Amino acid sequence: MRESVQAEVMMNFLVSEELSFRIPVELRYEAGDPYAVRFTFHLPGDAPVTWAFGRELLVDGMGAACGEGDVHIAPTDPELLDEVHIRLQVGPDQALFRVGIPPLLAFLDRTDKLVPLGQERALADFETHLDEALDRILAEEQSAG
């Protein structure tokens, strides 16, 4: 069984109203962490930076502004629903990105095939029970040997 989904999309890094540039961003989703998506930003001259946040936040942010804390996602134009802004914030510092919705939808569709939205808990419970069962088996083998 495939355990992860990856994609690369180009995003506009909005430095200011006058300055923006396109950067590659790697999107990653892993069945072992079914609630999260990871975005790795490849900024010129800097080491890649990875942010993890809720898959559901990404889904919800394509239709309406959402997010609390350090990640906010909102459509750039609620009428068109063709692009979103993703704002990442650490303390007073923030970075703003703009990306088309179609590549995000394609990525989310692939994540949904791996772990359907709403089924994350069942997978997490299965993983927990599997880990507990394997730990018991290993403990029994060690005590018998």
CATH number for the domain spanning 89: value is 2.30.31.20
Q: What total number of domains does the chain contain?
A: 1
On whether residue 144 sits in a domain, the answer given is no
Residue 135 lies in a domain: no
Q: What is the pLDDT of residues 31-79, one digit of tens each?
A: 989 999 999 999 888 899 999 999 999 999 999 999 988 999 999 998 8
Strand order in the sheet with 49-54: 49-54, 36-41, 20-30, 4-14, 93-100, 83-90, 71-75
Q: Give the span between the Cα atoms of 91 and 114, in whole angstroms.
A: 34
With respect to residue 35, please indicate whether it lies within any of the assigned structural domains.
yes
Is 134 within the bounds of a domain? no
130 pLDDT exceeds 60? no
Residue 19, domain extent: 4-117
pTM, two decimals, is: 0.80
